[in-house]
Structure 1
């Protein structure tokens, strides 16, 4: 049996998945090595779902320390973990989800990692990092044909961005066959046939998708787009806030953070030549902390995109997913 082939134990454990997307797709997952940057509220949900799919290995990269607040929103942490390294503290519960996956923790700062560290992975999922580092990782991924997903939860708002480069996939497409007339002249019901359809999506580099004020990026293409989803602007505002403050908005700093968010909003909407009424200031009251149910929803969606990217089955998001903090609906936006 080759290294990538499933053992009898794995075939039994992943039986439902194999029935759903086939043995070849499961073997691709079995061979995948995944890096997860950040294992906070959202990251813990992503880790859980990725482990259950049966990848070969999962490395958790997070230099953070466990706080009381983190314990309240991260189900992978045990009580009494305050002050310890969060990447190490999640390992016991995470490994119990699937003992067959090689699971390890790295407590280094993501920004201090050399390029060669990222080159050994099949796919990288990044949460909680600034855009300069994200663009750096994206360049490394493109040079080494590694898939990349970035995502975050801010309060009840969440987003993800895919860069799968030149991605080929096979999707199931139902087709209804025509009704047939029998010997007794009675028509039979139309039959349903599932066709395997091949497709391809070419993803742009992330620096062409996440274009922010005061950056040396070509914004000509975005100025031609007048009908962008308002929550794409919210994503950009929050990422720019993180870039400037080196943190996410905090309830303990509510008034000052709201004021800064409003100032960044003006800069972003001016850059995109969008109406300032496009995004209400009231939505900023919904972007503090990490709402656990939103982490669960977005964590499932991002893990699903990991499965699509690795297994090459079904159509992935092209290329931005936005979770509406008001209606709790998901919307797909194609940028660049």
Structure 2
């Protein structure tokens, strides 16, 4: 086992607020328990839930680090007593990326071994850190909860976000037609470059009318919804019979008015999920499925995250400000090493 320092630099905050509340602090280096590994972080992904946590609306689940950060890449430097059922055999020195429940904004981070994925040759560590959170989220919600099948059509909002860009790329790799909405012509063009078949400027067009036009009135089989609120009723108008509506965020409000007679008449399915509070067992099983079905595409170079900008760990506040400004295209990451 490598000699490790007793303390490390991490990014935390004393009270909820704007990006400026984020600041470096010195904290103990964590020690891996059974089923865990300690990763020397190279990069940490920045995600919308980190922003919501900083604002005070998304506390970490019980037992998780209070530090923000849900995904990291780096090198395994210490291994717990056992790595648990469903994990991969990891040794010190292994290059991995991992989905974590918190603690990514730091020089060292604990991860469940079962939630780690080996970084294949050709995948930069910067890119590796940008994969787990969106990949786990999209795979579970589009393909497991949403039952997406080859030949179907998916509508995803926010096509240039981390989640949106991953949904476009995974959808195309697995035979879906993908329609996305974006705010502005430039972002629509970017979404088409990422792979979207159709991009609708929601600032200039009614996406319900455009989906009807694109699908010749048939509608889409699946909507991946990150807005909720008033969008739910509009999304339902976009669904074909037996369509599925999966909500993964509530940026437009937590309440929606739904015509349940329409849900019954057209046999629609409304579902949703949050990933962070799910059990380590569940997330380990999800990682195992991704390892079998999607990770070979990463190893072959067929799936790469869309990268926006990299910031130093100490500049986490600037990274959050960029995300909140909404001008980013793809993933924002922090350099920890």
Both structures adopt the same fold (TM-score exceeding 0.5): no
More helix by share: 1
- What's the TM-score once normalised by structure 2's chain length? 0.31
More strand by share: 2
